[in-house]
Chains A and B, each alone.
Chain A
Amino acid sequence: MAMAVGEIEALIKAALPGAVVNIEDLAGDGDHYAATVVSEMFRGKSRVQQHQIVYAALRGKMGGDLHALALQTSAPE
């Protein structure tokens, strides 16, 4: 029921080429993460849409294998 940081990062980067992804393991248990994702693909999109793009990249693992992934998304400045 846990995912490695590398696995999460790989899934996000595969769906969002060129994205800058920063993942922190909050509890050290492989189950509670915080991620910052900066991608050009987020430009002009609402926060809800941005998060939905990341969730889609994680292919259904969010809410399942991955219990907690605090997300912060933005387009590059």
Chain B
Amino acid sequence: MTDPVHAAIQDQIDTTPVMLYMKGTAMFPQCGFSARVVQILNHLNVPFRTANVLEDDSLRDGIKSFSNWPTIPQLYVKGEFIGGCDIVTEMFQSGELETLFAEKGVAKPATA
């Protein structure tokens, strides 16, 4: 992998358990699809980091070619591409997403 942007993304997803590439920030999403994924992650109480593709054109293009996926947002868990807004929503609704986070050991312990 020689593309420096791809190398940076690889490093980021290797070192961040739950990494979301999105438009805007978790506090101020700038696209409804990105906002929905943030909302789901917050709801599941999963710690995550975000990268704002609107601040960096090379990242915006780079993440698309890296994942072979044409749209933003994109969710990575433990280095694995999970999907975009539709897949994340579908997995959330079916309960698969929660199971995935539990299996990967990235869910926050429940605070009673």
Contact = CB atoms under 8 A, between A and B. Distances in A.
B70 A47 contact: no
Interface residues of B, number: 15
Contact of A51 (B33, B84, B91): B84
A71 B86 CA distance: 6
Contacts of B70: 55, 60, 62-64
Contacts, number: 31
Interface in B37-55: none
Interface class of chain A by DSSP: mixed
B68 to A, nearest CB: 6
A47 B69 contact: no
Interface of B: 33, 64, 68-71, 81-87, 90-91
